[in-house]
Structure 1
Amino acid sequence: MSCNYAEGLSPYENKGVLGVAERFESHEVVEEKCRTLADWILQSRHVVVHTGAGISTAAGIPDFRSPKGVWTLEKQGLKPQINISFNDATPTKTHMALKKLADIGYIHYIVSQNIDGLHLKTGICRELIAELHGNMFVEKCNTCEKQFVRNSATTSVGQRLLGTMCRGYRLNGRPCRGKLQDTILDWEDNLPELDLNMADYHSHAADLSICLGSTLQIVPSGNLPVATKKSGGRLVIVNLQPTKQDKKADLLINSFVDDVFVQVMKHLQLEIPEYSYENDPTKKINDVIEWTIHPVYVKDAKKLYDTFSKKPKKRKSDEDVLIKNEKKKQNDSSEFNSYKIDEKSASENVEELKECTANISENAEQVISQASAECI
């Protein structure tokens, strides 16, 4: 349950802006905007979707900062009335729509802040998702760093040891024998490097970023969607509350995320698939399912980044500026010195000039005298 997850985190004061009033647009306005979003999805080269807690509320999992969110109520000394367990929660229409769109290549990557495992339960490929804050249904070896799918949600938070051994093998075929730990981040924990790299590469390569159910207050997660703007891409935000990045959005939709994606899929003439127990890796009790980001995925994402992202110019430091100015002074001084006149040479040149002038004057007088004689 998200309440138990929140209670398992270390004490932390700055949980962002809480309890801001929600906004709802009319059905007609939302439908028109959904048509625009569907058109943009079809027109775009690389679509990246950023998901927050708001896409899981329809599954019975409370969010954190809405008027009825976990941390908003916590501040009032209350707890959410509806709070389903992570084990019992199933993917929403939005989760299943994203899985369908990813399968047919309409969206190309998902960056999620959610730890509820609902994306995993859709059966999505690991190559297509970064989980920046961890996953309740994923554990990681502290030795080989491989990740494995769990059949039940972990009760541990903060990347703590779970008391179980790694199920992976070394290159020589021997068991790893490392110890497994949860993947859930606590406050101030570093984000998982490979997930963050994948999210960063795809976010910069995107020409359409779609933010769903997040106020985008947490960094760096909340800043990744705007990377597309540096390359002239579009930013779409679907959320009931105002977000940190609203002013940068090309399209804002204030509506329930599920309602939006029902309309979007309708305009795309696609059906939203039903959740399938058989395709849910958390239900495959007898299988060892790895959930590790393969180095090839990172390499391919880096190629996308290099190909499509617009790299900002490197800002010169104060030290760089001082060095450049000093070099310029030295060059100017050298250039000035090269034009200095040697005093001795100058004196000799003046004497030669006087002698030359005297000769010219003497010759001129002779020519004038000769010309006068001829005239007489």
Structure 2
Amino acid sequence: MSCNYAEGLSPYEHKGVLGIPEKFEAIEKLNEKCEMLARLLSESKHIVVHTGAGISTSAGIPDFRGPNGVWTLEKEGKRPSTNISFTDAKPTKTHMILKKLIDCNKIQYIVSQNIDGLHLKSGLSRKYISELHGNMFIDECSLCKRQFIRSSPVETVGKKCSGVPCASGHNGGRPCRGRLYDGVLDWEHSLPENDLLMAEWHSSIADLSICLGTTLQIIPSGNLPLETVKYGGKLVICNLQPTKHDNKADLIINYYVDDILEKIMNILHLDIPQYNEDTDLTKLASTNIVEWTINKKDVLVLEKVFKAKCKGVKKKKILIKSKRNSTETSNGIENDNCKVIKLEVKEECV
């Protein structure tokens, strides 16, 4: 459960701005903006989607900074009333739509801050996702760094060793003397190298980045969509709360992400697939060793694409959209002059 995961993290006071009121578009305006987003999806050639906790709330997993988020209520000495277990949680409509859009080559990559494993359960291939903060359904070897899918969520967080031997030899690979540990990051941990590289390069070569269900407060993940803008691409933000990068976005949609994407699928005349246990790799992992390691060949191929497009290209200075405040968004989330501690923004902004 999200509460158990949050309680397993080290104490950390600077969790960002909490409990900002949610905003909702009028239906007529929502429909108009969804038409605009559908047009951008059709016109763009390389699209990256950045996902946060807001895409999993309809699965019963509470977010962290929303009005009823884990950390918002924590300040009041309360806990969320809805808090499904990670084992029982199923992919939402958004997860399944993103899987479909990947399969249709409408979007090319997903960068996720989520640790709930719902992208994995949707049947999404490892080739198309960076999991920057880890995954409750993944073990990682301390030596060879290969990752393996679990049938149940890890019992610890913070990259703690389970003592279980590496499973590489069971898949026909070279035996390894390493031990498995959970791959869920704590505050002080560096982001996984290949996940971060893939996320940075995809974001840089993208002509469109779409942010779904995130206030973009955690860095560096929250700043990755700006790489798209710096190299001349467009930025779309879909979230119920204002975000720290609203003033840099080309389009903002304040509504439920499930509803936004359902409208997009209708406009594009695409069916929304249902969750299927047969394609849920956590189910397969109960009887088989299933690997979840990023393929090094995919990293090398993307590096060549990145260098071909971006090497020697001068990044554009990000011009704040003239209709929005250039120093601070209306919700009080400060912009970019903040100090960093690995995963989170310290509240020491000027």
Question: Shorter-chain-normalised TM-score: which range?
Answer: 0.7 to 0.9
Counterparts in 2 of 1:311 and 1:244: CA distance versus 1, 3 Å:
farther
Task: Give the SS at the match of 2:244.
Answer: coil
Tell me how far 1:176 sits from its aligned partner: 1.5
Counterparts in 2 of 1:177 and 1:239: CA distance versus 1, 3 Å:
same
More off after superposition, 305-314 vs 117-126: 305-314
Q: Distance in 1 between matches of 2:9 and 2:106?
A: 36
Matches within 5 A, 1:1-376: 1-169=1-169, 174-284=174-284, 285-309=286-310, 311=312, 313=314
- 2:336 maps to what in 1? none
Counterparts in 2 of 1:311 and 1:56: CA distance versus 1, 3 Å:
farther
Q: Tell me the TM-score normalized by structure 1.
A: 0.81
Q: Distance in 2 between matches of 1:140 and 1:78?
A: 33
Contact 1:19 1:65 in 2 (8 A): yes
Structure of higher RCO (CA pairs closer than 8 Å, 6+ residues apart): 2
Q: Distance in 2 between matches of 1:172 and 1:215?
A: 43
Task: Give the SS at the match of 2:168.
Answer: coil
Contact 1:170 1:176 in 2 (8 A): no
Q: Which residues of structure 1 form unaligned runs of 5+?
A: 315-376
Q: What RMSD, in angstroms, separates the aligned Cα atoms of the two structures?
A: 1.5
Q: Distance in 2 between matches of 1:63 and 1:267?
A: 29
Q: Distance in 1 between matches of 2:268 and 2:43?
A: 12
Task: Give the SS at the match of 1:15.
Answer: coil
Deviation digits for residues 302-359 of structure 1 (CA, Å, limit 9, x no counterpart): 1221233375659xxxxxxxxxxxxxxxxxxxxxxxxxxxxxxxxxxxxxxxxxxxxx
Contact 1:241 1:254 in 2 (8 A): yes
Q: Distance in 1 between matches of 2:32 and 2:268?
A: 13
Greater percentage in helix:
1
Aligned-residue sequence identity (percent) comes to 60
Task: Give the SS at the match of 2:222.
Answer: coil
More off after superposition, 171-180 vs 261-270: 171-180
Tell me how far 1:140 sits from its aligned partner: 0.3
Task: Give the SS at the match of 1:289.
Answer: coil
How many residue pairs end up in the alignment?
314
Q: Distance in 2 between matches of 1:30 and 1:272?
A: 20
Contact 1:231 1:310 in 2 (8 A): no
Contact 2:62 2:69 in 1 (8 A): yes
Q: Aligned AA for 1:151?
A: S
Task: Give the SS at the match of 2:24.
Answer: coil
Structure 1 runs of 4+ off > 4 angstroms?
Answer: 170-174, 310-314
Tell me how far 1:200 sits from its aligned partner: 0.4
Tell me how far 1:137 sits from its aligned partner: 0.3
Q: Distance in 2 between matches of 1:104 and 1:172?
A: 32
Q: Aligned AA for 1:102?
A: I
Counterparts in 2 of 1:38 and 1:150: CA distance versus 1, 3 Å:
same
Q: Aligned AA for 1:293?
A: I
Task: Give the SS at the match of 2:67.
Answer: coil
Tell me how far 1:28 sits from its aligned partner: 1.2
Tell me how far 1:206 sits from its aligned partner: 0.4
Contact 2:110 2:130 in 1 (8 A): yes
Tell me how far 1:175 sits from its aligned partner: 2.4
Deviation digits for residues 77-99 of structure 1 (CA, Å, limit 9, x no counterpart): 00000000000000000000000
Q: Which residues of structure 2 form unaligned runs of 5+?
A: 316-350
